[in-house]
Structure 1
């Protein structure tokens, strides 16, 4: 898939070095329930995620690399994997999918996560026929909460101290959208700008 500034393609083993650049950072791991890994363990994790490429059963997932498309703004970073996005099938029976994203901090605050997640949202509802799309995130991750809001995912609640990670109990925020909300959002005309 191609968005305005990104190419979204299946994660590949050749992405290990680029993904290591953000997967190793405490700043990134703070809000993701991934352990701190050395390079070899991180490479194995990327290989495992690259091998996940179907949504044909509960728990299956797809991971797409977010590659900067060539442009004057991308400059020397064109072709680099700056993040990745995920869709995981929570339930075939209820057509519920989970969405997730992670990006290198050097590219935060530029709308890339929203751009990539919006493409995955469209895939979930228009391509796969999801009934419900959910995002689970640490409520302290205000940037991801803003992405959810921009996508139109409603904050449905917070599970207090629902998981233990990196030596502390953490809350889990639940954000979601159902197909009816997606269709209404798609049917809303864009605001007129003079």
Structure 2
């Protein structure tokens, strides 16, 4: 297994995964304060001060070594502008499992950036880090994220009804996942 794994810039055809920078604050604030972007997330829209705190914390998360470690790189377009963020959380070293998630500025949604960014990270998860399983937990009402999971070749594994109390209501949780052998067969087949 490739742990510990230090995050490095990962470039794709149209997007690059890169560490968060100080100059990302305005775009992050635009994204994380937008009620539509935050609708299916666990957090409420954030203040500028809270976004600055979270950016500083997440920018420092650069290594996957033990259960609970995470990276949250910026998703950048060809010009280098931040269009969103990717979340990658090592949930079990023993089981070689991680959770993936994404968020994009509303004006950048629907352009394929999240798909390419997630695919780059899943490639690294299986090819470099040596993981066995990558999964996404999401609110099944988030049709765009469900569709993205399916486009990535993730299978629907579960639907937990009224699984958590979030933002004043009981919400369901959907689980989508892909195994290393499935990803490898899909990308080489």
Partner of 1:36: 45
Q: CA RMSD in A?
A: 1.1
Within-5 A mapping of 1:1-194: 1-69=10-78, 78-188=79-189
Taking the aligned partners of 1:103 and 1:65, their CA distance within structure 2 comes to: 10
- Normalized against structure 1, the TM-score is what? 0.89
Taking the aligned partners of 2:80 and 2:135, their CA distance within structure 1 comes to: 29
Residues 28-86 of structure 1: CA deviation (Å, up to 9, x unaligned): 111111123211012111111111111111111011101111xxxxxxxx331010112
Taking the aligned partners of 2:188 and 2:46, their CA distance within structure 1 comes to: 44
| Structure 2 unaligned regions, length at least 5 | 1-9
Aligned residues: 180
Taking the aligned partners of 1:144 and 1:45, their CA distance within structure 2 comes to: 23
| Structure 1 unaligned regions, length at least 5 | 70-77, 189-194
Asked if 1 retains the 8 angstrom alpha-carbon contact of 2:134 and 2:178, the reply is yes
Q: Tell me the SS of whatever aligns to 1:158.
A: strand
- Normalized against structure 2, the TM-score is what? 0.91
Taking the aligned partners of 2:147 and 2:119, their CA distance within structure 1 comes to: 13
Structure 1 runs (4+) greater than 3 angstroms displaced: none
Partner of 1:191: none
Asked if 1 retains the 8 angstrom alpha-carbon contact of 2:35 and 2:44, the reply is no
Asked if 1 retains the 8 angstrom alpha-carbon contact of 2:17 and 2:74, the reply is yes
Deviation at 1:161, TM superposition (A): 1.1
Residues 158-180 of structure 1: CA deviation (Å, up to 9, x unaligned): 11111111111111100001112
Q: Tell me the SS of whatever aligns to 1:148.
A: helix
Deviation at 1:122, TM superposition (A): 0.4
Name the larger-Rg structure: 1
